[in-house]
Chains A and B, each alone.
Chain A
Amino acid sequence: MTRYVIRRILIAVPVLLGITVLSYLCMRLAPGSPIDLLVDPNATAAEIERQRHLLGLDQPVVIQYFKWLGQLLHGELGYSMRSSKPVINLILARIGPTALLAGTSLVIAYVVGIPLGVLSATRAYTLWDYGSMTLAFLAAAIPNFFLGLVAIYVFSVKLKMLPLGGMYDPGTRPGVLALTTHLIMPALVLAGAQLGALIRQVRSAVLETLNEDYVRTARAKGVAEQKVLYKHALRNALVPIITLFGLSLPFLVGGSVVTEQVFSWPGLGTFMIQSIGSRDYPAIMGVTVLIAIAVLIGNLLTDLAYGLADPRIRYE
């Protein structure tokens, strides 16, 4: 097991390297340049060249990549071209809010989604099933931004119950109550986006295992239905659910761009969009590396969790 983990981590290093090469290339191949956006229209050709030099953009892209990589190996992500601040500070300031929002929404989605999916499967083709399937389809079909805007209109503008956006209001200090009221709308909207896929995934997984021979055997032995469901069916249905969960881990870091934008949430999603919009290369790469690491860790944890859920899966 330990050897397996070490091997996976060792494999992750070249994978991460490959990701950085590809994303650096893609980013630089995209049209648009930070210089065209940053330098004022009166600047002469000489001044534009000087600023390019100061930002290191006058060197060949390959050299720029290796310089960036060298920095990364020293644990540095460089300075943002847009704001001249260290990228690491900009990311650290935003990772908390993003993890809080995405984490809360994940918890909500799973706590609501798994029971509804199970209910749907055990009562297949009843009103319960149709009800939760309708909810699932609605959740999957309504675009996030639309749901967000409707929620803002109803709860902030009309009912004046919840704040419009941000993490806290100007003039107040962050506190649990203030934070919770700011979190409710974006977290629910974001949870809604995940709920659709989750309910359907759980339903089909449970439905499938309920038709397995061992479930029939268990029932034939006279095992209580509760036990059949939780000991036999649900445990076996866990593998696809774990996969889904593993896939959503990077989401904790990458956040939801749209939801963060709509609710002015000071997270990484908004930051990524702003960075791309200004072709802020160091900032884009910083967030990319972070998400890549999250994906790799997410995959590893998922594989390990398979073993826990299903003892037949062993890693040596």
Chain B
Amino acid sequence: MSNRSRGFSKRLRMAAVTALAGVALAACSGASGGAPGDAAAVGNPGKPVTIAMWSPWDTMQPYNTGGVYDSVVYEQILDRLVYLDSKSEFKPRLASKWEVSEDHKTFTFHLNEKAKWTDGQPLTADDVLFTAQIVTNPETQAKSRSMFRYLTGTDDSGVAKDPNALGVKAVDAHTVQFSTKNPMDETSFLYSFALAFYTFPKHVLGGVAPAELHKNDYWHKMTPGSGPYKWVSSVDGQMVELEANPDYFLGAPSIPKLAVRVIPQANLTAGLMSGDIDVLVGFGMGEVPLEDWPTIQQQPNLTAISTPTWIFQVMNVNTAQPYLKDPRIRQAISMAVDRNVMVDQLLKGEGVAARGPFPPSHPYFNKNLPAVPHDLEKAKQLLKDAGWDPNRELVMVTPSGNQVRERSATLMQQDLQKVGVKVKIQLVDYPTSQTMQKKGEYDLGLVGQTGSLDPDAVSPYLMPGSPSNYTKLADQRIGDLLTKGRSEFVQEKRQPFYDQLQTALQDQVPVVYLYHPNSLLAINKRMKDVPVGDFMWYNYGTWMWKVSN
């Protein structure tokens, strides 16, 4: 017996040794198969500053991406024309200054004369012109080029049949002129166009056929760039490592190494606490989960920052359904929803109840717009007047992934039950929810939308006949107000139309506006001069960041 047990323990020991050998062996083969470089582990000289977000980038081509995660990386490598800060003020980036013509149809940008690519070539107006031409080419795969629709020579999709007719002119090596179809408000043009305009290197991509642009190797390494940081290496879908561009024209960054990492939502808190993450990008792209917020606030190594955002969570109402056609029914639904409970309980106070698409801090917010009353009696009366069938059950399509939003669905289900509207929640993944709402295969549909400084950004969701108008409401008055608001180009003249629009939306209720959540960010205390508020516009200003060890 004792003999047997000794034999066994010996075998177990053998087993343990084999296991370790297996790990080591596997590790060796993995390392040799990985990126080239030093075989031995290097220590950690000058630990890079790590930025974290919770989803990966996709194409890195600024005009061909379906998401916003790419911008965290390419904003470091390429340059946009202007920078937008948290006070809604535009500041120089590639353009040092700009002016608007009398008729508000010509926008002239003077490029920073010190701007150059990291291979030493100067960045000139030719690069800007080239970028505009290749992106608007009909052959180019560019899923998000609609911003070019403002320019002359393009169709409503931002496609230019004739590159020479495109409203972009290189006046001289450092001056570019954009011509717009209609007069435009300076803020709108800067926000919707200049802020989103990134310049490509013509001397690298000039020979590429437009139909092949999206497959080009440039998007794998983005070298040369012109921005504050240079691409060093990446692990696809997980991490990009960057190093400072010492010749950056707005000043050399003081942090030598930067890393952008994709870290799952569940681990952000752990990463912040352990010091693996220095900066969260926030604004719906990487935030502290609400339930961890008190913990994060108590951490000695972290600064917790709750910033109001212009993001809004909404519930679309499918007005094409005959039983939801009567605006009184939609008003009743909006009235039955208790937004204050949502903000106090679900958001733990980190947000504000929405009255319409614009939060109170938005320049186009209608100051006389009342809050939507939470009035169960009135809601019941409206439903009764409109002849609501209490046996009908509405389907509430809810995309999974945002816990607060998922819980808000349950809350609204209970609220609506109180006024006699039965709701069935259908929890589906995000792509399914998008397609169902787009096709009109729903009654109520939850979705989140990013805010915009340009009030016209709401129009695709509300304009009659627009593919993104999931509510299918074809209200002529709303359409007119949107068109008129867009065609004026001074805020004082635009404001009345948007004021009326906000009132009309409370009257028609194609969309039940729910809440504007705060962005819950945290940064490591070793960081300084991080303009967190500017992150709302996907400007990170990394060249201004400082770090102390």
Binding site for B on A (CB under 8 A): 30-34, 36-48, 50-51, 54-55, 79, 82-86, 90, 93-94, 96-97, 100, 103-104, 107-108, 111-112, 114-115, 119, 145, 149, 152-153, 156-157, 160, 163-167, 169-180, 183, 187, 225-226, 261-262, 264, 266, 270-271, 274, 277-279
Contact = CB atoms under 8 A, between A and B. Distances in A.
B251 interface: no
A241 B16 CA distance: 20
Contacts of B431: 31-34, 36-37, 277-279
Contact of A115 (B15, B27, B56): B15
Contacts of B42: 172-173, 175
A193 to B, nearest CB: 17
B276 A103 contact: no
Ranked nearest first, the 7 interchain pairs of A and B with the lowest CB-CB distance are A32-B431, A170-B259, A47-B157, A175-B41, A38-B66, A42-B146, A107-B22
Nearest to A155: B274
Contacts of B270: 149, 152-153, 156-157, 164
B149 A42 contact: yes
A176 B34 CA distance: 11
22 contacts: A37-B430, A43-B143, A43-B146, A43-B467, A46-B156, A47-B156, A50-B138, A85-B59, A85-B219, A93-B235, A112-B15, A112-B19, A157-B274, A165-B267, A171-B45, A173-B42, A178-B41, A179-B30, A262-B264, A264-B261, A274-B55, A278-B66
B340 interface: no
A38 B147 CA distance: 15
Contacts of A38: 66, 143
B31 A82 contact: no
Interface stretch (B106-114, B236-244, B328-336, B377-385): B236-244
A192 B46 CA distance: 36
Contacts of A43: 143-144, 146, 157, 467-468
Contacts of A175: 31, 38-42
Nearest to A107: B22
B276 A163 contact: yes
B18 interface: yes
A288 to B, nearest CB: 17
Given A54-B141, A119-B8, A164-B271, A36 B19 contact: no
B66 A107 contact: no
Given A31-B435, A47-B159, A176 B15 contact: no
A39 to B, nearest CB: 5
A164 B267 contact: yes
A112 B11 CA distance: 11
Contacts of A79: 215
Given A107-B26, A108-B23, A264 B238 contact: yes
Contacts of A262: 264, 266-267
Contacts of B23: 104, 107-108, 180, 183, 187
Interface in B428-477: 428-432, 434-436, 438, 460-461, 467-468
A145 B57 CA distance: 24
B285 interface: no
Interface string B276-305: 100000000000000000000000000000
Contacts of A115: 8, 11-12, 15
A33 B435 CA distance: 7
A180 B235 contact: no
B39 A32 contact: no
Nearest to B8: A119
Given A43-B467, A157-B274, 20 more contacts: A32-B435, A38-B66, A41-B460, A43-B146, A46-B157, A82-B66, A97-B30, A104-B26, A104-B27, A107-B19, A111-B16, A115-B11, A149-B266, A164-B263, A166-B235, A169-B44, A170-B239, A173-B42, A225-B4, A277-B429
B37 A173 contact: yes
Given A43-B467, A44-B467, A167-B235, A152 B267 contact: yes
B546 interface: no
Interface string B135-160: 00010010110110100000111110
A90 B238 CA distance: 12
Interface in B1-26: 4, 7-8, 11-12, 15-16, 18-19, 22-24, 26
Contacts of A278: 58, 66, 431
B313 interface: no
B435 A36 contact: yes
Main secondary structure of the interface of A (DSSP, over half): helix
Contact of B19 (A82, A111, A169, A183): A111
Given A82-B66, A171-B257, A166 B238 contact: yes
A111 B434 contact: no
Nearest to A177: B41
Interface of B: 4, 7-8, 11-12, 15-16, 18-19, 22-24, 26-31, 33-35, 37-48, 50, 55-59, 61, 64, 66, 138, 141, 143-144, 146-147, 149, 155-159, 214-215, 219-220, 235-239, 241, 257, 259, 261-264, 266-267, 270-271, 273-274, 276, 428-432, 434-436, 438, 460-461, 467-468
A271 B237 contact: yes
A44 B47 contact: no
A231 B446 CA distance: 64
Contact of B144 (A40, A46, A173, A264): A40
B146 A274 contact: no
A115 B19 CA distance: 12
Contact of A266 (B47, B156, B237, B273): B237
Contact of A51 (B4, B141, B271): B141
Contacts of B30: 96-97, 100, 179
Given A37-B431, A166-B235, A225-B4, A171 B22 contact: no
A45 B467 CA distance: 6
A261 B264 contact: yes
Nearest to A119: B8
Contacts of A112: 15, 19
A165 B156 CA distance: 45
B33 to A, nearest CB: 5
Contacts of B235: 93, 166-167, 266
Given A36-B438, A96-B34, A31 B432 contact: yes
A282 to B, nearest CB: 13
Contact of B44 (A172, A183, A266): A172
B16 A183 contact: no
Nearest to B141: A54
Given A39-B144, A166-B235, A166-B238, A108 B24 contact: no
Contacts of B262: 264
B266 to A, nearest CB: 6
Nearest to A174: B34
Interface centre among B16, B66, B156 (most CB of A within 10 A): B66
A94 B262 CA distance: 15
